Chain A
Amino acid sequence: MKIWLLIAFALSIVSCGAFASSDSPSKERQSSYEFMTLENKAMQDDPNLNPAMFWVMDGQSLWNFKSGQNNVACASCHGESGKTMRGVATQFPKIMNGKLQTLEGQINQCRVGRQNAPALAYESKDLLALTAFIAGQSKGLPITVHETSENKADLKQGRQWFYERMGQLNLSCAQCHEDRAGLKLGGSLIPQGHPTAYPIYRLEWQTLGSLQRRLRNCMSGVRAKQFEYGSPEMAQLELFLMWRSRGMPLESPGVRP
């Protein structure tokens, strides 16, 4: 009798583990905005309360500031209005000249290639400011990352990073953010992991941060070796996550607790 109970128990565990949901989750996709308190929602929605707007303002000045040996500003090619990049952030990560580029990567590509200036460090104020300035112009637009013949291989690899177990805790992204989304981890609600608001002003960080910083957070949480900032692995994972959130409106720059 005992043995049968044990076997039944073991089987139930196995079946739970095997319940790996598909790429298009049956439950409705939800931005973690929905789970926030009214105060935090108000903070994100009101530009006069959203601290990330300070980075957007800084980004605008950087956009018009001539730098590098070529002495050109972003605005010299892309225009000054602050509206010309509308929709751009919804397409990234994107294959540019045969290489998968994140938005941050493309900004640095422009800096090195066009301005002849040193690349900006990841999570530096300047790079975050430019990213926030560009991404903020697409606020409210749906994410338009689709599978193409070009990005197919990277998307496949990104999907594998999402479903592959990693770290000493031997957990995959999907085990929390798909199978257990909506449940609790400690006191916090587990979100579905849709990167719709990056760069985000995270209250826990007391500053603005990129999606890659957030991903590295989780990787250190499961005690895995973190992907490097700006690495191809990061770009592939970002690509998969953005593809998974396709059609959801971009909220950048967002606020999260």
Chain B
Amino acid sequence: MSKTSHTKITMPSTEKKGQIIEIRAIAQHDMETGFRYGDDGKVIPRDIIHLFSCSYNGVEVFKADLYPGMGANPLIVFTTIATETGTLEFKWAGDNGYEAIDQSSITVS
């Protein structure tokens, strides 16, 4: 897996203050478990994303630990409350220096 990859965020771009918003974050990643064997009989080393976090204007609102049992290209769906206009930053970190960052902004009225 390369050091970074494509990611996609789905969330509303505008919302009323106090409303619950649903956020979907998907990252391209093989999530190699470390339990599989290659054609040569050797273990394919583990290569997974192990941390996902989302911060809303610098405040962490969601965080998840990921494990080898999770499928490839993990999709994470979570909710938060629209408190103020600003930017949500999404970060994925994984084995072998993997890192991906994505951003999405929201206007709260």
Q: Which residues of chain A have a CB within 8 Å of any CB of chain B?
A: 46, 48-49, 51, 53-54, 57-58, 203, 206-207
Contact = CB atoms under 8 A, between A and B. Distances in A.
B10 interface: yes
Given A54-B5, A54-B6, A57-B6, A49 B24 contact: yes
Contacts of A58: 6
A238 B75 CA distance: 32
Chain B contact residues: helix, strand, loop or mixed:
loop
A46 B24 CA distance: 12
Contacts, number: 30
Interface residues of B, number: 14
B97 interface: no
B28 A51 contact: yes
B69 to A, nearest CB: 12
B10 A54 contact: no
Nearest to B71: A206
18 contacts: A46-B10, A48-B24, A49-B26, A49-B75, A51-B75, A53-B8, A54-B5, A54-B6, A54-B28, A54-B73, A58-B6, A203-B71, A206-B30, A206-B31, A206-B72, A206-B73, A207-B30, A207-B72
Contact of B26 (A51, A57, A207): A51
Contacts of B75: 49, 51
A46 B77 CA distance: 14
